Amino acid sequence: MSREDEPSSPEVDDREFQNENRDRVQARALRKQLQQLAQGGAGAVLQEMAKEILSGRVGLREAMRVPAYAEALGERVRTYRESWERMTPEERERQLSEARRFLEAQRQEIEREIRGEKPTF
């Protein structure tokens, strides 16, 4: 049976990504970014990595020790950095504002969950 044929295993939750340097909001954002990578838009290697991490079969740190994953992620970071360097100050500020809004939305989502409210989509 190939990986594609394996039954879908439940995903790990935000707590899997929390540590002394990453709070709950950052952990939620990381999980959601991994979910996006798991959709395949960034290529097969990062898709596999994200699925392995989200399933709990591989930890985040362990994944970074896999040469293929580290190389693919490094290339993705390099490409983003080059794009960032070409941006105007206004474009950079828009990107930063978007990131702040995303993190604030994650914080609000967590607060709604704590209060027992249903998610809004």
Contacts 24+ apart (CB under 8 A), 103-106: 103/25, 103/26, 103/29, 106/25, 106/28, 106/29, 106/32
Split at pLDDT 50, 70, 90, the class of 113 is: confident
Task: Give me the residue label for tokens 């190939």.
Answer: 2
- Of the given ranges (46-50, 70-74, 109-113), which has the lowest mean pLDDT? 109-113
Whole-number percent of the chain with pLDDT over 90 = 64
Please give the average per-residue pLDDT across 61-73, as a whole number.
Answer: 94
Judged against a pLDDT cut of 50, whether residue 5 lies above it is answered with no
Q: How far is CA 32 from the centre of its chain?
A: 5
Q: How many CA atoms lie within 13 A of 108 on its CB side?
A: 9
Task: Give me the residue label for tokens 């609000």.
Answer: 108
